Structures are given as structure tokens and as C-alpha cells.
């Protein structure tokens, strides 16, 4: 009879527990994030120029765009906003101390664009104490806004002509107080295509739209790339001037939480095809951008972050390495687990993993073969989350847009203002 060692029984238990965990994780994530019909934006057909005079008169919308050193993006963004087929809106660009060509591009658009009369540019120079940059820029723009609705959007977005009219019609029809849209991610580079699916996995795991849209659930988030909110609701809540919002680095999530907690209607729906964004221009920008949010954006506190740091390589890297690990780990020339058994376990784990990634890649318009970059993405986000946790807990703080912020007891403060003239 073949002798069985104690470590072989234990290792088989660990192996198959891992298989059950990985399979269960990806099935759970998939079911949790499958889109529902009611979570889709009802797209309105484009209006022809001859139809605009006959179109329904909607409320005045003030579109507010915070911009800081956005010379690469600002023209495309503003032109798309000035070409909306919505008849009643204004565009307020808040230039938050840009030191590049942003100001000159905005001046040119104001003079030369056919709809330049809708465009207003507000110049900011200083950041008051206890404010983070983006909340202060949005707050400043709101002070100048005339609209009964406010749209907050980012300078790296661009919008289809019927985006605002589609969003406003749905918000009015469904009596929504804050409507936020998921944008189409433009992913032209290797690192975009490798890392954005992993970011999407993490966000949808923590903030699935079906829970965000459930009034009985406390889960709340918004996408800062497109937040449409009633002015009366914003003012009633105190907007970004609230003490708990003025210093936040998660301005979209925390505004959504305030809206939902106060009993107003929050909806997060898919606006793919109407709003587009390219978030980061380089690997270093991707790293610093997600590092800013990774720790603070978690819902479960430090305990959950530690669980994530342990679990992330277990569900992204280990499934691809089981046969190698089985062959390398031996005691007295005997493997912990037979290679054939490890191969079966690998097949069982990679089945749902790759199926989920193929689905997610198709949703994000990423080539199917980037599914095999999953372990690399897992390792990168392990580093991002680990560094974000270390920076926040040590008090070093995180940097963003030339400013460094420290989070202490839930309050964010600028600890390293930008040196004049720095980019």
C-alpha cells in the first residue's frame, strides 16, 4: 500500500480549499456586477438642427469642469460640451492654478467657438486651508452657476452631443436627485488595457450598481466623470462646503453618500457611448492616481484592506502558478501535491477566472488576450494598495496634481502646497 504523509493530506486540503475560494470569488463577482436593463441610460436620438427649435425646453444646467494643467485634454472636453444638442445650459471651467497652456486654450475657445458665449472661465490662484483642490474648484464654480441643475464633469472627458439631453430626460422622468454615469474608458496603451480591468473589478466588487441604486442599501458611490445633481439638493446638503466634504480626496463617493444618507434618490447607470474618458497618460500617472484612492476608497477599513492584500495575489496570481508550485515544493523528494492533481485544480480555477476576464475585456473593449495579463495586473495593484496603505497610515500622505494630502482621523489636509511655477 502506498504510504501517505501527513503533509500531503494537509496540502490537498489547502489546494482544494483554494480551488473552492477562487471559483466562488469569480462567480460571485460576475453575478454581483452583471448589468441590469434598468441600470442603462435610455439614449435619446440626436436632434437635427431643424428640430432644436421644436425640442422640449429643459431646465438650465450649469456644467462645471475643474481643470488643473489640462492642456492635453481641455480643448476636446470643452468643444464637446459646447456642442450639446441641449438648448439650455452654460459651461463654467474652473482653472485651478494651471501653469501650462490651459488658460490660453480656454481664451481661444471663448473667442473662436460658435457657442463661446455659453463658456465662462473662472481663475483660481490659492487653495484655502482644509480644502482639497477638486472640491474647492467645484464649490467655486457652483458659486457662479445660474442653473437649477448642476453637472460636474472632468477635463479628461468628452461627450456625445446627445449626452446631456439623455441624462436630463431620464433624471426628470424618474425623479432622480443625483444621476451619475459610468463612462466609456478609452484604453489605447498596454498599461491601460492591463490595469483598468483590475480597477473595474475592484470598484464593482465594493460598489456594485445594483446596491448603489437600492434605496434600502447604504452603499453609495458616484463617478466624478459625470455627476448630474439638482441644485436644490446640493444646496440643502451644504455641497462641498460641508466640513466632511471640503477636504475629501474621494469627492464623488462622499457626495453620493451624503445624498443617499439624506434620503434623496441616487442612481448610477451606464452611460457608455455618450461619455468617454482617458484617465491617465502614463504608467506613473496610473500608479499615483489609483494610489490616491486605493486605501481611502475601501469600505471595510484597515481589516478589509489587509484581507485584500492577502487575497489579491491568491485570486490573481496563484491560479496561474499551481502546477509550478506543485513541482517546486517537495519534502524528502516527495511533492506536496501530485502534478496531475495540481493541473486539474488549475483548470478548475482558470475556467471561471478567464471567462470573467473575457466578459470584462469585451465590456471595456479590451482585446481578449489581455486576460492573460491578469497576474501582472494583480501584482501592480498589490503594490499600489500596499503603498497607499503605508502612505496614509504613516502620515506621509498621497500626492495629486502637485499637492500632497494627509488624512488624519478622516480629515484631509494639504501638507505640501504646490511651489509656484511647478507643474
pLDDT of residue 48: 75
State pLDDT tens for residues 202-239: 998 899 999 999 999 999 999 999 999 999 999 999 99
Q: Which residues pair with 150 in a beta bridge?
A: 62, 229
Instruction: Of 384, 228, 220, 203, give the one whose Cα is nearest residue 309.
Output: 384
Taking the C-alpha atoms of residue 44 and residue 361, their distance in angstroms, rounded to an integer, is 27
The answer to whether 70 touches 98, Cβ cutoff 8 Å, is yes
pLDDT of residue 295: 87
Give the chain's mean pLDDT: 87
**Band of residue 412 on the pLDDT scale cut at 50, 70, 90:** low
> What is the mean predicted confidence (pLDDT) over 413-422?
48
| Domain annotation for the chain: domains and CATH numbers | 6-32+300-411 (no CATH), 38-183+223-281 (3.90.550.10)
**Band of residue 55 on the pLDDT scale cut at 50, 70, 90:** low
Instruction: Of 93, 74, 91, 92, give the one whose Cα is nearest residue 82.
Output: 91
> What is the mean predicted confidence (pLDDT) over 116-140?
92
> What is the mean predicted confidence (pLDDT) over 380-395?
90
> What is the mean predicted confidence (pLDDT) over 141-153?
97
pLDDT at 340 over 70: yes
Percentage of the chain modeled with pLDDT above 70: 87
State pLDDT tens for residues 90-117: 999 999 988 999 999 999 999 999 999 9
pLDDT of residue 420: 36
The answer to whether 271 touches 364, Cβ cutoff 8 Å, is no
- Give Rg (Cα) of the chain: 24
**Of 165-174, 291-300, 336-345, which range is least confident?**
336-345
**Band of residue 7 on the pLDDT scale cut at 50, 70, 90:** very low
Taking the C-alpha atoms of residue 154 and residue 66, their distance in angstroms, rounded to an integer, is 6
Instruction: Of 314, 304, 230, give the one whose Cα is nearest residue 62.
Output: 230
- C-alpha distances (whole Å) from 264 to each of 70, 206, 383, 401 are 33, 21, 37, 32
Highest mean pLDDT among 127-131, 262-266, 301-305: 262-266
Rounded to 5 degrees, what angle do the CA atoms 131, 132, 136 make? 70
> What is the mean predicted confidence (pLDDT) over 407-423?
51
State pLDDT tens for residues 63-82: 999 999 999 999 999 999 99
**Band of residue 331 on the pLDDT scale cut at 50, 70, 90:** very low
pLDDT of residue 118: 95
pLDDT at 335 over 50: yes
Amino acid at each position: 500500500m502506498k504510504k501517505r504523509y501527513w503533509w500531503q493530506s494537509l496540502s490537498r486540503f489547502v489546494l482544494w480549499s483554494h480551488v473552492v475560494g477562487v471559483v466562488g470569488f469569480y462567480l460571485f463577482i460576475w453575478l454581483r456586477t452583471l448589468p441590469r436593463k434598468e441600470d442603462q441610460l435610455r439614449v435619446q436620438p440626436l436632434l437635427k438642427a431643424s428640430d432644436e427649435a421644436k425640442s422640449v425646453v429643459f431646465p438650465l444646467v450649469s456644467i462645471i469642469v475643474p481643470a488643473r494643467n489640462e492642456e492635453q485634454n481641455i480643448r476636446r472636453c470643452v468643444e464637446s460640451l459646447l456642442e450639446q444638442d441641449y438648448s439650455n445650459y452654460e459651461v463654467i471651467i474652473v482653472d485651478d492654478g494651471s501653469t501650462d497652456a490651459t488658460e490660453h486654450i480656454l481664451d481661444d475657445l471663448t473667442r473662436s467657438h460658435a457657442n463661446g458665449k455659453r463658456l465662462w472661465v473662472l481663475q483660481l490662484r490659492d487653495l484655502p486651508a482644509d480644502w482639497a483642490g477638486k472640491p474647492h474648484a467645484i464649490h467655486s464654480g457652483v458659486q457662479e452657476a445660474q442653473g437649477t441643475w448642476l453637472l460636474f464633469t472632468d477635463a479628461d472627458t468628452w461627450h456625445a452631443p446627445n449626452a446631456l439631453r439623455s441624462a436630463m430626460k431620464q433624471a426628470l422622468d424618474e425623479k432622480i436627485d443625483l444621476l451619475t454615469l459610468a463612462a466609456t474608458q478609452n484604453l489605447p496603451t498596454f498599461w491601460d488595457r492591463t490595469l483598468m480591468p483590475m480597477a473595474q473589478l475592484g470598484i464593482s466588487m465594493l460598489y456594485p450598481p445594483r446596491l448603489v441604486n437600492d434605496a434600502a442599501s447604504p452603499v453609495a458611490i458616484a463617478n466624478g466623470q459625470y455627476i448630474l445633481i439638482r441644485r436644490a439638493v446640493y444646496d440643502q446638503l451644504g455641497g462641498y462646503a460641508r466640513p466632511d466634504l471640503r477636504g475629501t480626496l474621494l469627492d464623488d463617493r462622499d457626495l453620493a453618500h451624503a445624498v443617499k444618507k439624506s434620503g434623496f434618490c441616487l442612481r448610477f447607470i451606464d452611460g457608455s457611448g455618450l461619455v468617454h474618458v482617458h484617465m491617465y497618460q502614463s504608467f506613473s500617472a496610473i500608479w499615483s492616481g489609483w494610489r490616491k484612492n486605493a486605501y481611502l476608497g475601501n469600505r471595510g477599513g484597515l481589516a478589509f484592506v489587509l484581507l485584500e492584500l492577502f487575497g489579491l495575489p491568491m485570486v490573481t496570481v496563484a491560479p496561474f502558478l499551481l502546477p509550478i508550485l506543485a513541482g517546486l515544493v517537495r519534502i524528502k523528494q516527495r511533492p506536496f501535491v501530485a502534478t496531475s492533481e495540481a493541473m486539474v485544480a488549475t483548470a478548475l480555477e482558470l475556467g471561471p477566472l478567464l471567462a470573467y476576464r473575457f466578459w470584462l475585456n469585451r465590456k471595456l473593449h479590451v482585446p481578449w488576450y489581455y486576460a492573460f495579463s491578469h497576474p501582472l495586473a494583480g501584482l501592480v495593484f498589490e503594490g499600489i494598495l500596499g503603498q497607499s496603505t503605508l502612505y496614509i497610515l504613516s502620515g506621509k500622505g498621497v500626492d495629486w496634481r502637485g499637492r500632497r494630502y494627509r488624512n488624519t482621523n478622516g480629515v484631509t489636509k494639504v501638507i505640501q502646497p504646490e511651489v509656484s511655477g511647478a507643474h
